[in-house]
C-alpha cells in the first residue's frame, strides 16, 4: 500500500494499491513501444511540448504548491518557487537542447568524421520527496528532449505529486506512454532495471539507496547517475560580510525545513568572528515562523515524516552525547505534526561519528577554527562531496580556498544552488555523473562516432 500522509496533521490523505509485477512489466512494454516514434520526432516538436508544460506549471503553481504542502510539508511560498523553477528548466532545454546535442565535426580523420548524440531508450528516474517537482523535471526535461522515454519511481510518500507530474506532461501533448509514473515500491526497482528497454537510471537520494541501485544497474550493465547526500561546509573567514553570510546561512540551513542535499550543514567559522556569527545565526533562526505549511507566512513547515524526525532527534542526541552544546532548539515540540525546531549545536568534536553523517533537517553544527588551513581540512573531512561555500571579504582569497574544497560545486559569497545553466552533482559518497546544462543532457545518450573513409 502506498499512502499519502499530511505531515502537518498526521492524517492519511489518500491510499494507492501498489502495482503488481505484471502491471509494471506491461507498462514498461508500452513505454518501450512509444519510445521508437518519439526518438524520431523533431527537436522542435519536443521543445514545443516542453514549453507548453512550462506554461501549465505556471498556470497551476498555486494548486501544485498546495499539493506539496499537503503531501510533504513544504511551505506554500517555497512550493510556488519550486514550480517556477521546474517551468524554467523545461524552457531551458526547449531553447538549448539543439545546441547541446548538435553533431560535432572532428578534423583529420577520414574525409569526414563527427560525433553525434542519439537517444538510448527508457530512463528510470528514482526520485526523492524533498523537491517532488523540481527533482523530477530537472531529469525529465533533458531526458525527453534527448529523445528518450522516461519512467518515474517517485518517493512513496508523494504519490499524488507523481501523478500530477504525469498529468502536466500529458496535458502538454507528450505522446501516450513516453512518460509514465510507476506506482511501485523500492522492491520492484531491480526488476524495472532488468527490463530490456530500460537503458539507465538516475537516482537522487541517500548514499545507501545510491549504492543499492547502482549495484543493480551495474549487474545489468545499465548507465547510472547518482545524486546522493551531502554534508556541505559553509566556511566563514574573518573578513566576511557577516550580515550577508548569516542571512544566507539561516536560509540555507532552514529552507525546506533543512531537508535539502545541498543545504549548508557544517558551519566552519574563523575564531575572530565565531561568537558574533553564532549569536547572529541564533537570532536569525529564532525569528523564523514555524507552523502550517499552507500559511504563506510560514518559513518552517513540518518534516516530511515522523520517522525522519525521530532519526534527526537521535542524531541531535548523539551530538550532545559527543560533547555538543545546544545553543538553540534540540527537542521535539508538543502537539501534532512532524515539526522540528531550528537547532544550533556547537562544540561538537570534528571526529565525532555523527559529524560524518548527513543531518537532514534544520540542525546546524558550528565549528570554530583558528586558521584557513584548519578550515579547509575540516571542510574536506567528510565522506560527502556535493557542494560548499566560502565567505570572504577578499574575493581572490575566497576563490583560493574554493579551489581546495573537494566538492562538485563551490560558491563564493553566494548560496549553493542548482540552476539549469550549470552542471550539478557530487563526488565521493555524494555520487557521480552530472545533471543539468549540456553535461546533464548527454548522460543518457549514445555518444556515437561516425567516420567516412
261 carries an active-site annotation: yes
Q: What Cα–Cα distance (Å) separates residue 162 from each residue in 29, 71, 135, 182, 337?
A: 20, 11, 11, 9, 23
> Radius of gyration (Cα) for the chain, nearest Å?
22
Stretch (H or E) spanning 390:
strand 389-391
Cα distance between residue 356 and residue 416, in whole Å: 20
- Of 227, 357, 435, 443, which residue is the catalytic one? 227
Given the DSSP bridges, would you call strands 445-452 and 112-119 parallel, antiparallel or unpaired? Answer: antiparallel
Q: How far is CA 227 from CA 223, 252, 303, 380, 450, in A?
A: 14, 19, 21, 18, 32
| Sheet of strand 363-369, all strands in order from the earlier edge strand to the far edge | 325-328, 343-346, 363-369, 264-270, 232-236, 389-391, 411-412
Per the residue annotation, which of 254, 261, 319, 443 is the catalytic one? Answer: 261
**DSSP 8-class letter at 148:** -
Q: Which long-range contacts (CB under 8 A, 24 or more apart) does 294-300 make?
A: 294/8, 294/66, 294/69, 294/70, 294/76, 295/75, 295/76, 296/75, 296/76, 296/77, 298/75, 298/76, 298/77, 299/75, 299/254, 299/255, 300/75, 300/254, 300/257, 300/339, 300/341, 300/342, 300/362
List active site positions.
Answer: 227, 261
Amino acid at each position: 500500500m502506498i499512502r499519502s500522509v499530511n505531515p502537518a496533521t498526521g492524517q492519511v490523505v489518500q491510499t494507492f494499491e501498489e502495482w503488481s509485477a505484471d502491471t509494471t512489466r506491461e507498462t514498461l512494454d508500452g513505454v518501450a513501444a512509444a519510445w521508437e516514434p518519439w526518438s524520431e520526432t523533431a527537436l522542435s516538436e519536443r521543445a514545443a511540448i516542453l514549453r507548453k508544460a512550462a506554461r501549465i506549471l505556471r498556470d497551476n503553481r498555486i494548486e501544485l504548491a498546495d499539493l506539496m504542502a499537503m503531501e510533504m510539508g513544504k511551505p506554500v511560498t517555497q512550493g510556488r518557487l519550486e514550480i517556477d523553477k521546474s517551468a524554467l528548466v523545461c524552457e531551458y532545454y526547449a531553447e538549448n537542447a539543439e545546441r547541446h546535442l548538435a553533431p560535432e565535426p572532428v578534423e583529420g580523420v577520414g574525409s569526414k568524421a563527427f560525433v553525434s548524440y542519439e537517444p538510448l531508450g527508457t530512463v528510470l528516474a528514482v526520485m526523492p520527496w524533498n523537491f517532488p517537482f523540481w527533482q523530477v523535471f530537472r531529469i525529465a526535461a533533458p531526458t525527453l528532449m534527448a529523445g528518450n522515454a522516461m519512467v518515474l519511481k517517485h518517493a512513496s510518500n508523494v504519490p499524488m505529486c507523481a501523478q500530477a507530474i504525469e498529468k502536466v506532461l500529458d496535458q502538454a501533448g507528450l505522446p501516450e506512454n513516453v512518460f509514465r509514473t510507476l506506482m511501485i515500491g523500492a522492491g520492484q526497482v531491480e526488476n524495472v532495471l532488468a527490463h530490456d528497454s530500460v537503458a539507465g537510471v538516475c537516482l537522487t537520494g541517500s548514499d545507501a539507496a545510491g549504492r543499492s541501485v547502482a549495484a543493480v544497474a551495474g549487474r545489468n550493465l545499465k548507465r547510472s547517475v547518482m545524486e546522493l547526500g551531502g554534508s556541505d561546509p559553509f566556511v566563514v573567514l574573518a573578513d566576511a560580510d557577516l550580515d550577508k553570510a548569516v542571512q544566507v546561512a539561516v536560509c540555507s540551513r532552514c529552507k525546506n525545513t533543512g531537508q535539502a542535499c545541498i543545504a549548508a550543514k557544517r558551519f566552519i567559522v574563523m575564531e575572530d568572528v565565531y561568537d558574533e556569527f553564532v549569536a547572529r545565526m541564533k537570532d536569525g533562526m529564532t525569528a523564523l515562523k514555524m507552523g502550517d505549511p499552507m500559511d504563506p507566512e510560514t518559513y518552517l513547515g513540518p518534516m516530511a515524516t515522523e520517522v525522519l524526525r525521530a532519526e534527526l532527534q537521535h542524531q541531535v542526541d548523539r551530538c550532545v552525547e559527543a560533547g555538543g552544546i545546544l545553543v538553540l532548539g534540540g527537542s521535539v515540540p508538543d502537539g501534532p505534526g512532524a515539526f522540528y525546531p531550528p537547532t544550533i549545536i556547537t562544540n561538537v568534536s570534528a571526529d565525532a561519528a555523527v559529524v560524518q553523517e548527513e543531518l537532514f533537517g534544520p540542525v546546524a553544527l558550528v565549528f570554530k577554527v583558528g586558521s584557513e588551513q584548519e578550515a579547509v581540512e575540516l571542510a574536506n573531512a567528510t565522506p560527502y562531496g556535493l557542494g560548499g561555500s566560502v565567505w570572504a571579504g577578499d574575493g581572490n582569497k575566497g576563490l583560493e580556498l574554493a579551489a581546495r574544497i573537494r566538492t562538485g560545486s563551490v560558491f563564493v559569497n553566494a548560496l549553493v544552488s542548482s540552476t539549469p545553466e550549470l552542471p550539478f552533482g557530487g563526488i565521493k559518497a555524494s555520487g557521480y555523473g552530472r545533471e543539468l546544462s549540456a553535461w546533464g543532457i548527454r548522460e543518457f545518450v549514445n555518444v556515437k562516432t561516425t567516420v567516412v573513409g
